[in-house]
Amino acid sequence: MTPRLQNFIDGKLVDSTTSRFGDVYEPALGTVARQVPMSTSADVETAVAAARRAFDSWSATPALRRARVLFRLKALLDEHLDELAALLTSEHGKVLDDARGSVTRGMEVVEFACGIPQLLKGEYSEQVGRGVDCWSFRQPLGVCAGVGPFNFPAMIPLWMAPVAIACGNTFVMKPSERVPSMALRLAELWHEAGLPAGVFNVVNGDKEVVDAFIEHPDVAAISLVGSTPTAESVYQRATHAGKRVQALGGAKNHLVIMPDADLEHAVDSLMGAAYGSAGERCMAISVAVAVGPETADRLLAALMPKIKALRVGAGTEDGVEMGPLITRAHRDRVAKYVERGLAEGAKLLVDGRGLSVAGHENGFFIGGCLFDQVTPEMSIYQEEIFGPVLCVVRSPDLDSAIELVNAHRYGNGGAIFTASGEAADQFCKRIQVGMVGVNVPIPVPMAFHSFGGWKGSLFGDHFMHGPEGVRFFTRMKTVTSRWPHGASSGASFIMPTMK
């Protein structure tokens, strides 16, 4: 019998009340590994109630003591890194080194959150008026909810929950139903680190769980990473319900290659950025903008043999550079985009469809694909494919390249490869994206900065982790204080000023 997963509520694993279960696959084999419960609103009610009960005590716990739990969690994550990477690879399919890297990027946010006593320090002004002092401080929101994507089952929960919990909130996480096991393992490590029961909970499921988060009056905030339609819908509905929301959506990230760029460096960077994790990254480079015809020709000549030589296979095998896609349906969707690109007139230089991996013939594999002569009106340019498909667009000059990027509805990240400081400076100042790389293909900020995009890539006012993460998971309170001395001077009926 296929094993069935549970939820983690109030410090322990518990069965869901649901009668619906979904299959969780091992993508490299194409076989069902376990089943995940599609939890009900009653399960969400139980988890939120546990988080609400835990909130009063946890929010009153000194920030230094909360930080000590995070220090222990970081040590446990270090200790179990290989185990976590193997679990991630089994359900997602990405290669082990990439899995380790993604867990490590999550651990860096835990390290950042360990500094919460410093991060929550407020401001104080003495004598803003005669005998009047003013100070501000930040307080937690209450019960917060997280909705994770399938592509980073460890990193994204570790970008959300540690900051929220360090700030004094309690948390309910809904991982993607395609990769549910990691969140449950993280919950066990939180518990082992000494986190009180109810502070971190996991409710598995699908849209019903998200809807229950939106509708529940005790959920104060929702942090989500997903597709743009989902992010926009959750943002609109949850803010209408009075909740604070940060919802990160899709992307179509461009890498601009100038004629003076170090071509070898640019090509190696593009290979990793476009085909790493099989392109299933919101920060993947899916569009290469070659400035000048000679640049485009040289770029393509260098790219094609490398793409054809990509080592594709099970992520657990040594030397593999790219694993399978997450599901058979998603692999077929990516293949249909390739068909559509051909129908729209793009030139397919490398076709990865029909790839079969020995010993894994039923796995969800597709090889790297490369298009030339892509134009802005094509769907393969406009839409997020979320697979190993790189589109090359030719641009006559830097101004045209910047205009091209700025006209796109997404604005997550972008990069320029150049030897010119002037070109890099113009690009950084004029580009309309949230994260910019200069000779860096995937400009994901370190944990002590903040991650987020512009336009259709982010709904809400706050980026994730870093200072913006602390602001999102807290609200400011300002106190103006006066201790009178002597007799009252009588009632005043005018707007108070500090003359």
User: Which amino acid, 349?
Assistant: L
Question: Partners of 257 in the beta sheet?
Answer: 290, 417
Question: Partners of 464 in the beta sheet?
Answer: 451
d(CA 197, CA 352): 48
d(CA 182, CA 174): 11
Q: Around Cβ 428, how many Cβ atoms within 10 Å?
A: 13
φ, ψ of residue 12 in degrees (nearest 5): -155, 160
* Alpha helices (runs of H) in 199-242, residue ranges in sequence order: 207-215, 228-240
Q: What's the pLDDT score for residue 488?
A: 72
**Is 282 assigned a catalytic role?**
yes
CB contact at 8 A, 397 and 415: no
CB contact at 8 A, 238 and 230: no
d(CA 116, CA 482): 29
Tokens 């359900």, residue located: 91
pTM of full prediction above 0.85: yes
> Block means of pLDDT (10 residues each) for the chain, length 499 residues?
96 98 98 98 98 98 98 98 98 98 98 98 93 96 98 98 98 98 98 98 98 98 97 98 97 98 98 98 97 98 98 96 98 98 98 96 98 98 98 98 98 98 98 98 96 97 96 97 80 73
**CATH topology of 7-249+457-479 equal to that of 253-438?**
no
Q: What's the pLDDT score for residue 493?
A: 78
Q: Out of 114, 282, 369, 391, which one is annotated catalytic? A: 282
DSSP state letter for 191: H
DSSP codes joined into one string, 8-31: EETTEEE--S-S-EEEEEETTTTE
DSSP codes joined into one string, 120-170: T--EEEEEEETTEEEEEEEEE-SEEEEE--SS-TTHHHHHHHHHHHHTT-E
Q: Name the token pair of 259.
A: 């004629």
d(CA 46, CA 39): 11
> Would you report the helix, strand and coil content of the chain in percent, each value rounded to 5?
40, 25, 35
d(CA 396, CA 348): 21
- Looking at CATH, the fold of the domain delimited by 253-438 is given as Aldehyde Dehydrogenase; Chain A, domain 2 (3.40.309)
Q: What's the pLDDT score for residue 487?
A: 67
Q: Which residues of 255-274 are buried (b: 16+ CB within 10 A; e: fewer)?
A: bbbbbebebeebbebbbebb
Question: Partners of 428 in the beta sheet?
Answer: none
Q: Could you say which architecture CATH assigns to the domain 7-249+457-479?
A: 3-Layer(aba) Sandwich (3.40)
Angle 96-113/155-166 helices, nearest 10 degrees? Answer: 10
**Domain residue ranges in the chain:** 7-249+457-479, 253-438
The burial class, CB within 10 Å (0-12 / 13-18 / 19+), for 111 is middle
DSSP codes joined into one string, 260-323: TS-HHHHHHHHHHHHHGGGG--TT-EEEEEEESHHHHHHHHHHHHHHHHT--BS-TTSTT--B-
Long-range Cβ pairs for the range 189-194 (8 Å, 24+): 189/73, 189/76, 189/77, 189/80, 190/73, 190/161, 191/11, 192/72, 192/76, 193/69, 193/70, 193/72, 193/73, 193/76, 194/68, 194/69, 194/72
DSSP state letter for 258: -
Q: What's the pLDDT score for residue 491?
A: 80
Expressed in angstroms, the distance from the first to the final Cα of the chain is 78
DSSP state letter for 7: E
Q: Of how many residues is the chain composed?
A: 499
d(CA 282, CA 458): 12
CB contact at 8 A, 241 and 46: no
Q: Name the token pair of 369.
A: 């694909």
d(CA 41, CA 216): 9
What is the chain's Cα-based Rg?
A: 25
d(CA 312, CA 446): 29
